[in-house]
Structure 1
């Protein structure tokens, strides 16, 4: 029987049979499920290291939508009550019992009374929020945006049909867009529309039967994609990345799948070379491995030529699942992603969508289809690329100027995407640098937070999409001071 160690205490990896009752009320389902689990911790029925049931199992027992359980687990993890161990289950975190007995909440609760202004603690204003994943939505043309949503609102409700056949307007528009921008030859029938990248990852995991199997995963890598796979029972096998991204030579024949971000490795920013892309696809086809290509910001490139998507390489149709998203090109609020599964996997994707209960919003899909069809998205991408290129140049130049005297500090990942990484020497605590910068009003993300293995990479992930050129110098100065404070 598999065991794991949480807080140096061996625990048997057997999920607890929860006598869980979700309280009624008007609060969102995720809050009510999370509160019920915290109550079990408070009563001592759940202890440190205990494994929670899988989201599918608990949803079936509670007779609720599985998405609510997944969101509840995410909420508990974000608040520190549980920890998702790669390749294992979601477990009660050390200290959760103390927090529960102190009546700590997994989410914020509205106060009963408003605190008078004179009693409020003074909070320093935020100069810049550089946490990645945030495009500048103010760059969207208001007239085009309103026109797209008017058309979506005036359309008759969808007549229904299979999940694979849903959103025909968006699938047709995306087929043209992907052929033009990413070199992917695809027909609308091959595209699947889903409510976000995490949903696409869950659907793929179920369709490919990854439960209990190894998935090679970039390390450091996108933690939300990793968590989505773990939620479906996949065992994550961290693979260290280098200056060209994920090395195919580090894959093993027992890997059922491999997750990668070849256009702009997240978070380190490497672009996978053409030779390595071809090697990866050939290796996957040779051993029957699924390749998950997350093209989260592939539309943005600066001063470099476009590299072919893995899906467009010879043999890519047989093994590559391509995932794209509207989150970076327009707004995360659209909650839209598109999946092109490998040809052999396509029939099982429809069954997986039904099992996972994933469905994208019809109005969002129609609005995006309109923006693509009338050329608004093409104009938006051209406009934002110019703006982001200027912001990137100003920020990178400012960082290099203010950190030139510090040995081992590098700015990397600048050729594409919407973020750069300030790489720090091994041994520097990047979480301490993040904390020091936030005290002065600049928010960033530590590279170490994206690590699943024991890698030594350290640095700051800095999204510059919303950073005006006029404030780049001030923000870079705050970061430089934070790095010196920790180094000293």
Structure 2
């Protein structure tokens, strides 16, 4: 470890650490337990600088091999981190953690603490955004004159940019689609709530995927809709299970969230035929449809059936939630009803994020980012799949998006692995929370876009060990 740290500058050297040279437990394990306990008990706090392995070895009168092994173990568990040219620091000290003997279990980080590694889905690869292009787009957006009134439908330039984006990256068959069929939204959940409030009768039944996107479920209920869960399998929504008396069906056909399947052509046709015959509205959530690595994505449902499909997209998964915008593509009666609802309620999308996306598209930066994003996520997916396969663990989910699913034998195993990972500063996402009712799928929705590749590589062996124990 770089930089020797004198005793006065490290709280660790003020602690009484008793290593028993006659105990069967190796000295390195004893030392790691003692340091872990000190962090858990609050004797060491997040941000405290540790002495170098050499200085600590001198202080304890042990071999440097002992201190280096202890530091390596704690680093792997996420308790300490090395900063180039600066030294080694404690990363977490859970406040109010129960005092436990040094050999006791590691405590989970407190809610709200910054985790070391985030392996949850739904988080973009924001670190891959070209900062020069990002700054240029914001500067250009700021050149516009301040607005005097809201744009309920959204900026025309933004809606035109969305049509171009869907044509190039989502296989939209343009046909009769114009910017008049596009509304700017505040994101998918906001759009779902607006649709329910503006287009559907109060108390209407809406079929949703189970498991599925629970924020959309919450938005539907907040707008007065009655949610009807419909099962999914590895190919997405099971169309024949949709009740006949629903007013709308909410689904994610390009990449079902969270199971990860793609709705095949025959199910798409069956869904559209039933919608037309039974008077449904299909709400197509295309949250990461641009992110496919194996084959070209199937055309959006809106291209197949513009009369019954409302297509929703968002910038939060392909860029960042900072922009706070998405889009809705629908037939004119739907878009008109939503605009009227916005007029009545005084709501509408913010304009700044729209202008930034327009500038990113105008200079080709959006297209370059998406190409770079697909390449990076494809490589990360291979890293995850191959790394776990080497440990005898298989995952499922299409070669698309930014997550895979790791199946587990039950809810207990799922909860235990999530808790064990949290103790080591790794945030995982169990499938249980993506159900509206009793969970029918058990496992992890394993995201790979929020962290660095190094963090991902370091976390996989720990995850594999937990999974093997659970099984």
**What TM-score, normalized to structure 2?**
0.73
| 1:469–1:287 Cα change, 3 Å | same
2-side partners of 1:361 and 1:369: how far apart?
14
2-side partners of 1:119 and 1:442: how far apart?
14
Deviates more, 1:381-390 or 1:474-483: 474-483
C-alpha displacement of 1:121:
6.0
Asked if the contact 2:209/2:231 (under 8 Å) is kept, the reply is yes
Give the root-mean-square deviation of aligned CA atoms: 2.1
Asked if the contact 2:181/2:331 (under 8 Å) is kept, the reply is no
C-alpha displacement of 1:346:
2.5
Report SS of the residue matched to 1:332: coil
Asked if the contact 2:188/2:312 (under 8 Å) is kept, the reply is yes
Candidates 245, 249, 273, aligned match of 1:254: 245
2-side partners of 1:208 and 1:233: how far apart?
12
Report SS of the residue matched to 2:404: strand
- 1:454 paired residue number: 438
* 2:416 counterpart of 1:432: yes
- 1:280 paired residue number: 271
* 2:409 counterpart of 1:420: no
Report SS of the residue matched to 2:236: coil
Report SS of the residue matched to 2:310: strand
Candidates 337, 345, 369, aligned match of 2:334: 345
- 1:217 paired residue number: 208
C-alpha displacement of 1:378:
0.2
1-side partners of 2:398 and 2:456: how far apart?
15
Asked if the contact 1:215/1:255 (under 8 Å) is kept, the reply is yes
- 1:384 paired residue number: 373
2-side partners of 1:437 and 1:399: how far apart?
16
Asked if the contact 1:257/1:290 (under 8 Å) is kept, the reply is yes
* 2:164 counterpart of 1:176: yes
1-side partners of 2:463 and 2:138: how far apart?
40
CA shift digits 1:188-236 (9 cap, x unpaired): 1111112121110111001222421211100000010110001111111
**What TM-score, normalized to structure 1?**
0.71
- 1:21 paired residue number: none
1-side partners of 2:347 and 2:388: how far apart?
42
C-alpha displacement of 1:397:
1.0
2-side partners of 1:250 and 1:352: how far apart?
32
2-side partners of 1:256 and 1:419: how far apart?
31
* 2:131 counterpart of 1:142: yes
- 2:222 paired residue number: 231
Asked if the contact 2:322/2:353 (under 8 Å) is kept, the reply is no
- 2:384 paired residue number: 395
C-alpha displacement of 1:349:
1.3
CA shift digits 1:341-380 (9 cap, x unpaired): 2343232111222345432221111011110121100000
- Any stretches of 5+ residues in structure 1 without a counterpart? 1-116, 405-409
| Bigger Rg, structure 1 or 2 | 2
Structure 1 residues 52-63: aligned runs within 5 Å: none
- Any stretches of 5+ residues in structure 2 without a counterpart? 1-91, 98-107
Runs ≥4 residues deviating over 4 A: 117-125
